[in-house]
Amino acid sequence: MTEDPGDFPEAVVRHALEEGLDAIRSHIRSKLADPSHADDVLQMFCARALERAGDLKTGAAARTWLSRVLATTIADYHRSLARRRARETLADDGLLNSFVAETEADRAGCACLLALLDGLSETDAALIRGIDLEDQDRASVATALGLSLNALTVRLHRARTRLRGLVMRLCAACLSHGFDDCGCPPRSTTS
């Protein structure tokens, strides 16, 4: 029984992997700071080599080709480890505490700012409430108000400009303390 020519590259790669498995494992262990991850990288390398066996042009070049696949597998592992560590850093206590503090500050918006929304048109107030205060998706707010996204963007900009004008005229405390809850009773928006 003859081998299918399409099986040739895979058979060569499989043979090279079986023959050099111990040397490959020790090479991987020498490249990783944590040797316990070597088996994971070895498994990724073997799977990648077998998946890409069709890229191998000649059997004589198998070792060179495998060394390139191994080098890219190790590099990919290091990149994924760096990304994982970066994500874990976000959960660091200091960053987490500052994130919680910022979130709480966002929630404690000034009551007089909310009252000033009554001085805007219904559409302007709905835009600011929906997008800025309730953090709704712009597309859903646009659909609810019967607007295109472009029209919503223009109207939101204008609504924010009008609200800024009201704040500038009616709440001097907000201007000085930065819109935390100042507790000041807002003056009438009709003045």
Q: Which option is the CATH number for 5-89: 3.40.50, 1.10.1740, 3.30.70, 1.10.287?
A: 1.10.1740
Instruction: Give this prediction's pTM.
Output: 0.44
Lowest-confidence pick of 5-14, 41-50, 51-60, 180-189? 180-189
HSE toward the beta carbon, residue 144, CA cutoff 13 A: 11
Fold match flag (5-89 vs 102-177):
no
CATH architecture of 102-177: Orthogonal Bundle (1.10)
Lowest-confidence pick of 53-67, 92-106, 145-159? 92-106
Q: Pick from 60, 71, 46, 43: which is nearest to 8 by CA?
A: 60
Provide, rounded to the nearest whole percent, the portion of the chain with pLDDT above 90. 1
HSE toward the beta carbon, residue 138, CA cutoff 13 A: 10
pLDDT of residue 107: 44
The pLDDT tens digits for 11-35 are: 888 888 888 888 888 888 888 877 7
d(CA 42, CA 32): 11
Q: Helix, strand, or coil here: 180?
A: strand
At residue 180, does pLDDT exceed 60? no
CB 188 within 8 A of CB 118: no
Residue spans per domain, the chain? 5-89, 102-177
Using CB atoms within 10 Å of the CB of residue 168, give its burial: 0 to 12 exposed, 13 to 18 middle, 19+ buried.
Answer: exposed
Rounded mean pLDDT, 97-118: 57
The pLDDT tens digits for 45-97 are: 889 888 888 887 776 678 888 888 888 888 888 888 887 777 766 555 555 55
103 band by pLDDT with thresholds 50, 70 and 90: very low
